[in-house]
A and B are shown apart, each in its own frame.
Chain A
Amino acid sequence: MTRQSPVTSELSRDLSLFHITMMGLGMMIGAGVFIGIGITIAEVGPGGVILTFALNGLIALFTAMSFAELSSAIPRAGGAYNFARIAFGRGPSFLAGWMEWFASSVAGSLYAVVFATYTLDFCSQMGLLDWLPISVAAAVRIVAIATAGLFLYINYRGASETGKVGAFFTLGQMLFVLGIAAAGVIVAIAEPQRLENFRFFLPNGWGRLLAAMGFVYVAFEGFEVIAQTGDEAIDPKRNIPKAMIYSVAIAALTYVLVSFATVVAVKSGPGEPAAWRWIGQYGETGFGKAVERLLPFGSVLVTLAVIFSSTSALNATIYSGTRASYALGRDRMMPAAFSQISHKRKTPYVALMFTGLIVLVVAGALPITDVGSCASMMFLFLFFMVNLCVIKVRLNMGDELDYGFLIPLFPLPPLVAIVCQALMAVHLGTISYLAWTIAPIWVVSGVVLYWAYSRSRAISTADEIQVFEERRGEAPPAGGYRVMVAVANPANALELVQGTYKLCGAKDASVELLHMVPVPDQVPLSDAKRYMMEGREAMVETMLYLAPLFPISTTLRYCRNIARGIVSAVREKHVNMLIMGWHGRARRHHFTLGSTVDPIIERSPCDVVVLKDCGGNREFKRVLVPLAGGPNGALALEVASILAHPSDGEVVAFTVARSGTSFDVEQFVEQTRHRLHLPRERISTRSVPAADVVSAILSEAEDYDLVVIGSTAEPWIYQVGRRTVPDTVAQRCRKPLVMVKAVSGIRSWIKRWI
């Protein structure tokens, strides 16, 4: 018998930081800036063009940071589509893939048109087009379509430049563009009077700035392709985030310098229009015209640079668009035909064909300004979504993923990027109303397609939450109070029964029993049934006690992370209170209560009640409620009054008086009186002076049967480096303990819906 050894294969990791940075730059330094500078100068003047690229660079850097954080944590090919699938699920991920497909294809059209425009303009100057029976504008369309067709064929053949070869082409482009920038700086130093060109700094006012920023945003598109090199990059967790950030920064600084050089390149003579007007009148070829006046053979050099950069970018965007539509087909979000691979060429020819269709139609039908605006608009939408993804993934899955980079001052940079991108998209409509027509039509058609076709056909992935079994009980009254009980196993179920019984009784609630099935990562979901037995037993155990008294429903679900699965169920079922158990210790040192309890307390958009050692037939005659005036104090008092023995239970509202604090516990009890389920005379207050709050509470707790304490109000990102008082008390208290967290108005509403 032969022994089979497992054989695995993987791509060799030989792309260094330099190579992948150059890949990003190769997509950016090119057509966008060549056509963008002339049009932008016409829109916002000489100072405006510098401001446009500087501010755009900053906003693009914030978005690059979002990509960097997500790529470091989710190092899989797929880019925005993949991030959206993990952050928001199938629908938004379909939309991200759908937009990425269109954005890349339209960017491809733009590069084809830019190539044709500059090449024919050069030939026209040389007198090589005098024989043409058609106008130059018509010839531009034909050449653009022919060029795009050629690169579609090249993509079909499967030929593409490798990262290493591409890096050297990009380096050449970079050196050329930096050469122009250097020439501009030298000329400005030699002839300072050229700086007079900035005299008309913002001739059309500040109002046009956002529109111009929106228009040239496509020039910062490209760094996202770096995310695709996860399987080939050396030390990807370190190098991919660095490459994204470096490439955006280098591109932004280069654009600013080149814009400066373009403005000072033109020396207006007497009777001539101002420099910015002169450049602006040429529109998309304004940059080339200015460089002609700056460098000998400037026109030839610019044409060569455009040929190199636009063809390289055209190839990459067709490849990128094809890959986006292929991924949609592979996951059955689009017809399976999109994932068909040519037997002969090993390329996804159907996806390529439809991508080609978009590239050719847009390149042949729309004016260049509208093509550029349309591409920018789609990338603005796409980056908008990625910035949302980074917030959602950090908040929802920050405890599961292995990060190589974290955005500073989170979530400020992605929020700033979202607001700025939204403003730019709105203002872009003033440059091209067509972009504001086509882009939303594409997005809406995507939404319709998803609901009509993709939603029911999409293949589920292991990252998603699966509902294995759902049994609806007696329907709860509309608007009635709903309590969810998260049961882990039969023993834990019995621990929770008594508390649940009392809380549901006091609230006249219906009950949702939830069990998250813990299927190990290496076990396929098809074998999950083997792991459901314990959960079923726990459900039956709990139902024995609660079903005769309350309307009850049960759900067995699976999720790779139990905390995320529970929070998701809370959101979906709109429960008012979540009850769960806690074993009383944190196994991992960077959690305070535990890797499951901490995220649930932080993220659940409802009241949370965590019970520790509250099982059996315990009677709580003396209940201690430590208070300090926090937002969870009222709920702690209410829960204490419910759990206390109904006939002779007593609740003591306890506070530690310290110098500099002015919390009036008596007044607090009076204010929350309407929520209490015990007569006022059985609720007393006690204030003890002490320097050490934790020791004072623990010492006081020795005389009580139960401690009910509100959790800290601070999110975990602000609890760094220290344990809070409630967490320390919960860890060290030897008595039965209940920790509560109250739903918090607008923050909970945001958590539930966003």
Chain B
Amino acid sequence: MQSEPLEIIFGTAIAAAAIGLLIYLVFWSRRRINRIARNGGGTARKIVKELER
């Protein structure tokens, strides 16, 4: 019943990756929301074009 060390390493890595991605997405979204607000919002097409500039 005791878990394999590999399972512990793999499970910990997945949990760490999920938490890392979650934190990254939060900061990334925050930056994007601020940028869209600075540009005055707009339609999806307009925002995508402005963000790519």
Contacts and interface: CB of A to CB of B under 8 A. Distances in A.
Nearest to A47: B11
Contacts of A48: 11
B52 to A, nearest CB: 4
A717 B44 CA distance: 9
Contacts of B3: 45, 47, 199-203
A201 B33 contact: no
A242 interface: yes
B19 to A, nearest CB: 5
A95 B41 CA distance: 31
Contact of B52 (A57, A202, A720): A720
Contacts of B12: 47
A402 B42 CA distance: 5
Contact of B15 (A54, A404, A406): A54
A47 B3 CA distance: 10
B19 A256 contact: yes
Given A48-B11, A201-B7, 7 more contacts: A54-B18, A65-B29, A198-B8, A401-B44, A406-B48, A590-B43, A721-B52
Interface residues of B, number: 36
Contacts of B33: 238, 241-242, 404-405
B36 A245 contact: no
Interface of A: 45, 47-48, 50-51, 54-55, 57-58, 61, 65, 68, 198-203, 235, 237-238, 241-242, 245-246, 249, 252-253, 256, 394, 398-406, 408, 590-591, 716-717, 720-721
Given A58-B18, A242-B30, A202 B44 contact: no
B14 A403 contact: no
Contacts of B15: 47, 50-51, 54-55, 256
- What 6 A-B pairs have minimum CB-CB distances, sorted nearest first? A398-B44, A201-B3, A54-B18, A720-B52, A54-B15, A249-B26
Contact of B47 (A200, A245, A406): A406
Given A200-B2, A721-B52, A51 B44 contact: no
Nearest to A401: B43
A246 B26 contact: yes
Contacts of A400: 43
A317 to B, nearest CB: 25
Contacts of A717: 48
B47 to A, nearest CB: 6
Nearest to A73: B44
B22 A238 contact: no
Contacts of A249: 22-23, 26
Contacts of A408: 25, 28-29, 32
Contacts of B26: 61, 245-246, 249
A208 to B, nearest CB: 13
Contacts of A246: 26
Contacts of A238: 33-34, 37
B48 A200 contact: no
20 contacts: A47-B8, A48-B11, A54-B22, A58-B21, A61-B22, A199-B3, A201-B7, A202-B7, A202-B11, A249-B26, A253-B22, A400-B43, A402-B43, A403-B43, A408-B28, A408-B32, A590-B49, A716-B45, A720-B52, A721-B52
Contacts of B52: 720-721
A399 B22 contact: no
A610 B6 CA distance: 60
B50 to A, nearest CB: 8
Contacts of A721: 49, 52-53
B49 to A, nearest CB: 5
B31 to A, nearest CB: 11
A245 B14 CA distance: 21
B47 A58 contact: no
Contacts of A590: 43, 45-46, 49
A202 B48 CA distance: 43
A238 B18 CA distance: 26
Nearest to B3: A201
Nearest to B52: A720
A45 to B, nearest CB: 8
Nearest to B34: A238
A268 to B, nearest CB: 14
Given A403-B42, A720-B48, A237 B18 contact: no
Contact of A399 (B23, B28, B29, B44): B44
B25 to A, nearest CB: 6
Contacts of B53: 721
Nearest to A399: B43
Contacts of A61: 22, 25-26
Contact of B44 (A200, A252, A403): A403
Contacts of B22: 54, 57-58, 61, 249, 252-253
A212 to B, nearest CB: 13
B5 to A, nearest CB: 9
Interface centre among B11, B41, B45, B52 (most CB of A within 10 A): B45
Contacts of B42: 402-403
Contacts of B14: 51, 54-55
A403 B36 contact: yes
Given A201-B8, A242-B33, A403 B41 contact: yes
A404 B47 CA distance: 9
A241 B34 CA distance: 11
